Amino acid sequence: MKKLNFIFFITATAGVISFDLYKAAHASFTHDESYTYLHFVNTNIMDIISYFEPFTNNHILNTLLMKFSQALLGTSELTLRLPNILSHLLYMIFIFKLFDRYCNKYFILFFILLNANPFLLDFFSLARGYGIAIGLMTAGLYYYCRYIENQKIHNHILSLVLIGFASLANFTLLNIFLILILMHNLFQFIINRRPFSLKNLWKINRINVMIGFVFSMILYEPIRKIIKYKLIDFGGMEGFWHDTAGTLAHAFAYDVLYRDYMIVFFKMFFISFSVLFLLRIIKYFFKKNPVTLVQKFGLFFGLILFFLIDGTILQHYLLGTPYLELRFALFMYPLFIFMCCFLIADFMTDSYKYLKGGFIVLITATLFLHTGYAINTSSYFEWKYDMHTKEMLKDIDRVKPKECSQIKLGITWIFEPTVNFYKETLNLNWLSMVDRNGLKPEEHDYYYISPEDMNIIDTKNIEIIHCYPDFKNCLVRNNKKSIRKKKIQLKAINDNYICADSTLNHLIFANKEKAGLCETFSLIIYVNNKCAIRSYDDHYFCAELDHKNQLTTYVNYIAAWETFTLVELDGNFVAFKAVNGKYITIDEKTLQLFARSKIIGKREKFEIIIK
């Protein structure tokens, strides 16, 4: 059996790592990876560790390993993602070491269960900290299982050190570090029945204290800045089942045709084995015989999950922290599968083992087939929108005029890091640096744009270079910058000028008898009478699509809500229709402007004065 397990391990690991290498080398870099590279990788080591630029995108250990890999092997998608691929190798090695040692009869099934997840596989070929953290966590928990077996101090030390480093790759694993200390005390005083005393308490925890002190010194400054700047703002607020378990089930189901069925499958999987764990705890409690090693491991992983879930819920109610979602909660999945594996190994010794074995084989086959169908080498579930970014830039390079020395590309903010990553790493000197200020149609030679934003640009004077599948973004060329600009003032029916003063909470009123700076605007007219209105401080009229539909000047870019239809009326009068199909009107009492009128009446007409 051990020989067969080893052959399977070598073959499966070679196949999986080959897949990781190919995907890492060929898939476009993503938003978060690019942000890490642009803002952190090229800074000095102390700035990375100390969170000099405080932002949770900096997964400290991942950033340091990216920096080291770049220095050693150069800059490419593969070299920057290599630390996570090696972490996948680490993950699989310790799965082999754990189950070949303690459950070798079921190793092949357990190995498949721990790798057959398309969402999990994504993070072993991405330059983020999640894959590194899971690899180190698995190694650390293996060594603690060895400690449970033989009580050797070096195994305890290795487990804490490895999980401490895992928390440097993903701060959420600090919870695992603390829970491991708690579990160490529970196992010593309850399972191993050591007498409780202050002396024993110190003896049991002195290693925990020393290693905890070292990592607290390393993590003090990053954690302080995260708390100070309130950077823990990601996640959900509805509940653990909805936000954590629910989003993970959706992610594990991936983008497949039968996705709804897989979501139900994963939720039933979570529920059934959670109930099974509770039943086994009751059995262990009333069992007269000593708890076996496999049963201890089942308890160990199950209780880690139990305390992790309870801790998450308590943190939410006591501190208001959001529930973990999607990739932030991904490390819980291997913990859950480890628990399932040891529960399976335990209850397979009971009666009806062939029936139970068939059930486990069915679950494993379902996950294996689903993963084989869902995986791809071109995109990542949470950053699928970036899958064509590199290809799009190559297309611009191919079609741009040879004599053109500088190209301005119009994008929405979400593409900014990846476009700038490739501008820097591929030496695209012909491309101007892009920013996060949104689409400014009058300034760009090309656009990488979604169908929903097509109304912003001059569709009569564009040439579609290529439309990309999946997200249906299009690369278009602006053949003629046919945009008219006029300096204007607008007078309402009350004979007052429209005023956009940013000191008035960015609201817009018709309340000025004389026109000055705040009452003078730039009217930007596109084709088909589409227009935008820019205030003196370079902010745009925006029809807020809420229950009030009030006009504001909060934003400094043009998108759908900042685009209006200009309706020319008799004389010098005009009206403006917002994206919600309603006309701009004046509130009779407050004189504030709203986009909520269905018809053009007196309060919807404005005299336009061209300066």
CA 151 to CA 145: how far, in whole Å? 9
Residue 42 gets which letter from DSSP? T
Residue 554's pLDDT is 86
Of residues 353 and 555, which shows the higher confidence score? 555
Residue 159 CB-density burial (10 A; 0-12 exposed, 13-18 middle, 19+ buried): buried
Residue 67 has pLDDT above 60, yes or no: yes
Q: Are strands 409-410 and 446-449 parallel, antiparallel or unpaired?
A: parallel
Instruction: Tell me which residue of 68, 81, 75, 83 sits closest to 422, measured CA to CA.
Output: 75
Query: Mean of the pLDDT values across residues 441-464?
Result: 77
Residue 140's pLDDT is 98
Confidence of residue 193 (pLDDT cuts 50, 70, 90): confident
Query: Mean of the pLDDT values across residues 252-256?
Result: 94
Q: Are strands 573-577 and 606-610 parallel, antiparallel or unpaired?
A: antiparallel
Query: Mean of the pLDDT values across residues 326-343?
Result: 97
Is residue 269 within 8 A of residue 363, CB to CB? The reply is yes
| pLDDT tens per residue, range 73-115 | 999 999 999 999 999 999 999 999 999 999 999 999 999 999 9
Residue appearing with tokens 């630029």: 53
CA 543 to CA 549: how far, in whole Å? 6
CA 521 to CA 518: how far, in whole Å? 8
Of residues 486 and 210, which shows the higher confidence score? 210
Q: Are strands 542-543 and 530-534 parallel, antiparallel or unpaired?
A: unpaired
Residue 350's pLDDT is 66
Residue 500's pLDDT is 93
Residue appearing with tokens 């890492």: 24
Residue 70 has pLDDT above 80, yes or no: yes
Residue 483's pLDDT is 59
Residue 297 has pLDDT above 80, yes or no: yes
Average pLDDT, the chain: 92
CA 548 to CA 545: how far, in whole Å? 8
Confidence of residue 438 (pLDDT cuts 50, 70, 90): confident
Residue 50 gets which letter from DSSP? T
Of residues 93 and 548, which shows the higher confidence score? 93
Q: Are strands 474-478 and 446-449 parallel, antiparallel or unpaired?
A: antiparallel
Residue appearing with tokens 């596109």: 526
- Which pair of structure tokens corresponds to residue 166? 């895992």
Cα 176 to Cα 7, 269, 309: the distances in Å are 33, 23, 11
Residue 131's pLDDT is 98
Instruction: Tell me which residue of 157, 156, 162, 210 sits closest to 188, measured CA to CA.
Output: 156
The strand pairing partners of 72, in sequence order, are none
Residue 78's pLDDT is 98
Instruction: Tell me which residue of 409, 56, 415 sits closest to 231, measured CA to CA.
Output: 56
Residue 121's pLDDT is 98
Query: Mean of the pLDDT values across residues 147-169?
Result: 97
Mapped onto helix, strand or coil, the DSSP state of residue 524 is strand
Residue 442 has pLDDT above 70, yes or no: no
Of residues 112 and 579, which shows the higher confidence score? 112
Confidence of residue 69 (pLDDT cuts 50, 70, 90): very high
3-state SS, one letter per residue, for 382-427: HHHHHCCHHHHHHHHHHHCCCCCCCECEECCHHHHHHHHHHHHHCC
pTM of the model: 0.80
Mapped onto helix, strand or coil, the DSSP state of residue 466 is strand
Is residue 501 within 8 A of residue 508, CB to CB? The reply is no
Query: Mean of the pLDDT values across residues 140-152?
Result: 96
3-state SS, one letter per residue, for 551-610: EECCCCCECHHHCEEEEECCCCEEEEECCCCCEEEECCCCCEEEEEECCCCHHHCEEEEE
3-state helix, strand, coil in the chain (%, to 5): 60, 15, 30
Q: What is the number of other CB atoms lying within 10 angstroms of the CB of residue 403?
A: 5
Query: Mean of the pLDDT values across residues 28-48?
Result: 97
Is residue 78 within 8 A of residue 186, CB to CB? The reply is no
CA 559 to CA 440: how far, in whole Å? 9
Query: Mean of the pLDDT values across residues 556-579?
Result: 88
Residue 549's pLDDT is 85
CA 9 to CA 17: how far, in whole Å? 12
| pLDDT tens per residue, range 374-416 | 999 999 999 999 999 999 999 999 888 776 678 999 998 999 9
CA 551 to CA 545: how far, in whole Å? 9
Is residue 323 within 8 A of residue 239, CB to CB? The reply is yes
Sign of CA dihedral 506, 508, 512, 514: positive
Residue 548 has pLDDT above 90, yes or no: no
Residue 280's pLDDT is 86
Residue 362 CB-density burial (10 A; 0-12 exposed, 13-18 middle, 19+ buried): exposed
Residue 485's pLDDT is 78
Residue 482 has pLDDT above 50, yes or no: no
Residue 589 main-chain phi, psi, to 5 deg:
-85, -50
Q: Are strands 409-410 and 593-597 parallel, antiparallel or unpaired?
A: unpaired
- Which pair of structure tokens corresponds to residue 251? 């992610």
Cα 287 to Cα 282, 291, 302, 354, 450: the distances in Å are 9, 8, 18, 24, 62
Residue 233 has pLDDT above 80, yes or no: no
CA 279 to CA 44: how far, in whole Å? 52
Of residues 502 and 489, which shows the higher confidence score? 489
Residue 238 CB-density burial (10 A; 0-12 exposed, 13-18 middle, 19+ buried): exposed
Confidence of residue 547 (pLDDT cuts 50, 70, 90): low
Give the rounded percent of residues in the chain with a pLDDT score beyond 70. Answer: 96
